Chains A and B, each alone.
Chain A
Amino acid sequence: MALLLTVNAFAKEKQHGEEAGEKDLKTEIKEYIAHHLLDSYDFSLYSYTNDAGEHKYVGFPLPVILWDGGLKVFSSSKFHHGETVAEVGGNHYALYHNKIYKTDANGTINYDADHHPTNEKPLDFSFTKNVFFILLVSIIMFLIFSRMAKNYKNSAMPTGFGRLLEPIILYIRDDIARPNIGEKHYRRFMGYLLTVFFFVWIVNLFGLTPLGVNVTNNIAVTLALALITYFITTFSGNKNYWGHIFWMPGVPTPMKIILAPIELLGTIIKPFSLMIRLYANITAGHIVLMSIIGLMFIFKNWIGSPLSFALAFALSLLELLVAALQAYIFTMLSALYFGAAVEEGHH
């Protein structure tokens, strides 16, 4: 099923690539990749140029929510994919590099010396494509797992899809939570660990489909996940945990003073590494995959396309593995940090 979708993706990319015309193809591909990786204010699956030369988008708009001296809610269709200025309640907003700026009626954007826009940026709570997708995945997860839970009321054995999911749940419990956190405390963290594993995995898998949604390559998403891990670790830290951070036992006093700030910094670096690892792995995978697909349009000869196809195919398989692996690593390391936080002193 995933393979089929990947092949579909190629077809769509191709369609898009062909209409790029004879302009600077390399720049075009680069921009397309960069654009693909970004969040967007509407849910567009793909775009094409019709015979009349109009740029058409297939998809639907999503609500834009701004806080700019009051709540402003309007449909992202007002931007016409960044081509026009949206006028809401006397204020004008324009899209520039996928960010909303407050402009005048003409959509003028002023730049500073480094070519950064100087226009005011309203506080943006827009229900973007990624938010939409996060919500969608959450709803799907809730439906699947609450149904699975209901099944257990009738029979002790899982039924249907639960038969596939139960071993994964048991794996997380028996091979991630129990050995890393310990028999006594692991139950408290199971809810978060299971949710984060399935969420990251499902979202990563959807990122590989041609739907064009890449949730985990947004630093905001990985920051949110890492921050939750950080707060759970910090708030469940016991005396032993804090003792090891501020007054490391078993080392000479001057060393203790040196170690304290390092250890304290370590508590922040750990979730920070979680955030960067997930973000970088998924982003890198997408960039490489799309670049290889892009090669097809640059070579334009009989070697290029099959080669690019074979490479992209192999890489897609690898990405399938990476999708699960990153979810596993995130869950595993979170469990490790929780384990350190609740570990009982044994001195």
Chain B
Amino acid sequence: MEPLTWTGSIAFLNPILLLALAALALSIIVWIVASIFLPEQQITVNSDGSVSSSGGLRGLIQTALHYSFLASVGLSVAYLLLGIFMGTNAGIIGAMSQQFLPVWVALIIMFASSIAFKRRLGLYGKLYDSPIGMIGFGLVMFWVFTGIFGAMDMIVTHDPLTQLSGMKNKVPGTPLPNLEDGQYAWYLLGGDNLARDVFSRMVKGAWIVVQIAPLATMFAFMVGITLGLPAGYYGGRLDTFLSFLANLILAFPVILLFYLLVTPEIVATGVPNYMAAVLFVFPILFLAVLLNSRFYTRPKFRTPLLVAVLGITVWLYLSLISTGGYVINTDDYRIWGLPTYLDLFDIPGGILVVFVSVVFVNSPTVFRIVRGLALDIKTRDYVAAAQTRGEGPWYIMLWEILPNARGPLIVDFCLRIGYTTILLGTLGFFGLGLPPESPDWGSTINEGRKLLSIYLHPALPPAFALLSLVLGLNLLADGLREESLKD
């Protein structure tokens, strides 16, 4: 097998792309300079009734920018499209594009169907009116689909943990020395220090982030909302106490907290299990109060609903916190949990501690945001109207204040998923929590950086993956903010 080059037989496109990119860069610079020095485009009405516009140079520059941008994007898409059909003939980029085929299909289906029905989809549909939001959402969904399909073993070319002899630190596109049947013949992005496939590890790493980050953020929001609403609404001693607690956690440097919490020794003491048992109660409380405050006037409907919802959530809660029949299982003592035959899923101690500490670090910030919003909104007229109507405080908090605070909260949710992704990467970077061979991006960057002066390829793909996911989330949040402000 021949080693692959980056672009293979479509290398004739490279000079054209370079040209287009150079034109794009040049026109951006000219555009910025022009916007400072050239006068703004003005339309003047002449005495004979016709109009004439000045600043034709500006228009010219904008046209140049427009076309060079289109050319660059078009050429990049051409690489990917040709890659889908030609596979490894189109080099490493083509081969990767072919591997990502399920992701492209899913993305196209999602975008096509969403754009077709965007007027009926509320805020999500409005996202498709903002180019920035669309780009951000595209980037995020790219990694989400990559994570999902990667977990189904569709994109990966090799097992992320298998070490193949002779592939240690090999450059991207190196063929396997002794190829077996059914094996992919190349390491697309090269091999790392332990001769594992960098490409497959990057894809598998996406799944870890996609699993943990949104869920942890959601839990942090549940905790923050359940505590922040009463703190803002009631104020007084409760507010002072809760704010003090939140500030206490916020004053902790995050990394010190991680170093204290996310160690095998702490896992052995069962501290994370206690924290999980406390933190995961909040979503149940939230749901119970949410439904009860709305439907308590109709007990015939409320009671079965609450029984069903609470039954399911409590079951999930118990399966979440108990592992192998115990809630806490240390050398000295044990606390019984759900029996194993009722236990839906087990979470390994290492993952649980990561999850719990990420929730723990994020929830005080959410608490402060929710508290601030509640303080602001509780002075509005519709809250006064609800109070006059005789609604209970929890109804007002959850059904009057919370829906009206949703805009900033949704935006912050997107930003916070990005921040959680960064935190997960930090944990991996310091080798905390996740097992050392785990393919998550932080650990891979940490491993790759040790040989960075000689071999670039093991560290850079996960670095760019993390960068693009967080960038996508930031852009998405920006788009959402823009669109929700238009209401």
Same complex for A and B? Answer no
